[in-house]
């Protein structure tokens, strides 16, 4: 018993707990990541499918999360309505972005589930300086005009010179800020007046899709 106590004393101050304590990889990619044999660039360059959120936790520990909406959704059953919460979450850091949504009977689990899904959907953001008026060559904007769609909302992201800032709706700003884009002009089409919550989610998804589309042209990986 005294030995146990000594052990406990020795351990303090306690080291910070690693995020993936007790993670047993279930996929080959997970094993590679855990043994440190693969980098994030290689995963995206080879279009490897990330099936475990721990992979992203290990390779992108600086990822930030932001909850966009929490909605109550109902389903009619024989015994009445069954209500659940639907959460839409974006995760991102400089040069990476992911969006995910999930439903659960309670708010907390819905958000956690959505974060997990958003992590699996993380894509690199193709950044550059596509503005004719700027031409500085830094990565503060997008390299060319990109568009993305979600439902009836379509959004164009247009490269802007340095110092312009994010010229777009607040809902779009959230995504772009997380992705590390500083200057942009934007244009949106479609039913952009739909109920606030839906628009938020839709706009974010459309912006995410635009950034994802840009990734298709990313040959420098
Ligand atoms: Zn520039």
Q: What are the tens digits of pLDDT across the range 14-71?
A: 666 555 667 888 889 988 888 888 888 888 878 788 899 888 998 888 999 988 888 8
Cα-to-centroid distance, 124 and ligand 1 (Å): 19
Torsional sign, CA 77, 82, 88, 89: negative
pLDDT in tens, 76-125: 999 999 999 998 888 888 888 888 889 999 999 999 999 999 999 888 88
In degrees and rounded to multiples of 5, residue 180 shows phi and psi of: 90, 25
Cα-to-centroid distance, 172 and ligand 1 (Å): 21
Q: What is the mean pLDDT of residues 157-162?
A: 88
Cβ atoms of 152 and 110 closer than 8 Å: no
- Band (pLDDT 50/70/90 cuts) for residue 137 is confident
Cα-to-centroid distance, 181 and ligand 1 (Å): 11
- Interstrand relation of 123-124 and 96-104 (parallel, antiparallel or unpaired): antiparallel
Instruction: Name the pTM for this structure.
Output: 0.77
Cα-to-centroid distance, 161 and ligand 1 (Å): 5
Residue 163, Cα to own-chain centre: how many angstroms? Answer: 25
* Closest by CA position to 188, among listed 152, 218, 161, 217: 152
pLDDT for 106: 93
Cα-to-centroid distance, 220 and ligand 1 (Å): 19
């Amino acid at each position: 018993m005294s030995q146990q106590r000594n052990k406990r004393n020795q351990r303090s101050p306690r080291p910070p707990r690693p995020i993936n304590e007790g993670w047993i990889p279930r996929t080959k990619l997970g094993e590679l990541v855990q043994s440190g044999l693969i980098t994030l660039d290689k995963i995206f360059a080879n279009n490897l499918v990330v099936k475990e959120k721990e992979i992203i936790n290990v390779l992108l520990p600086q990822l930030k999360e932001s909850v966009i909406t929490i909605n109550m959704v109902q389903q009619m059953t024989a015994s009445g309505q069954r209500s659940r919460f639907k959460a839409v979450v974006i995760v991102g850091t400089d040069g990476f972005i992911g969006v995910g949504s999930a439903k659960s009977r309670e708010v907390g689990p819905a958000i956690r589930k959505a974060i997990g899904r958003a992590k699996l959907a993380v894509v690199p953001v193709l950044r550059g300086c596509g503005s004719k008026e700027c031409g500085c060559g830094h990565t503060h904007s997008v390299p060319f005009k990109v568009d993305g769609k979600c439902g009836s909302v379509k959004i164009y992201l247009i490269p802007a010179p340095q110092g312009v800032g994010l010229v777009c709706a607040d809902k779009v700003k959230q995504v772009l800020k997380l992705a590390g884009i500083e200057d942009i002009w934007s244009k949106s089409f479609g039913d952009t007046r739909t109920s606030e919550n839906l628009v938020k989610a839709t706009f974010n998804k459309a912006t995410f899709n635009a950034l994802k589309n840009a990734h298709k042209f990313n040959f420098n990986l």
